[in-house]
Amino acid sequence: MSQSADLNIDHVAHLARLALTPEEKATFAQQLGDVLHHIEQLETVDVTGVEPTAHAAPVFNVWADDVVQAGLPVELALKNAPSQRDHMVVVPKVVE
């Protein structure tokens, strides 16, 4: 498929914050044009009577019972902390 006339690969690359070489622009313009052509073909499919869905199979939330349990011991929670003080993890200051 040839590149779409209204496809501006420079604009797309700018939005994606990509710095593309001329060869990459040509390659990606071709590939993106092929994808858009495929989407145009999908628009021609007759979907009358097909109910819209978000998932191909039903999705159910699986919730665990809300049961009180013992928490993680402080020593185990701080085991891999690079720095700790008074049972807390010490992190670098990020607000001035």
Could you read off the pLDDT of 41-71 as tens digits, one per residue?
999 999 899 888 888 888 888 888 899 999 9
In a domain, 14, yes or no: yes
pTM of the entire predicted model: 0.46
> Considering the domain boundaries, does residue 63 fall inside one?
no
Residue 91 maps to a domain = no
Domain assignment of residue 83, yes or no: no
Domain count, the chain: 1
The reply to whether 24 falls in a domain is: yes
CA dihedral 48, 52, 55, 59 (to 10 degrees): -130
Domain contains 79: no
Residue 34, domain extent: 9-42
Dihedral sign (CA 89, 90, 94, 96):
positive
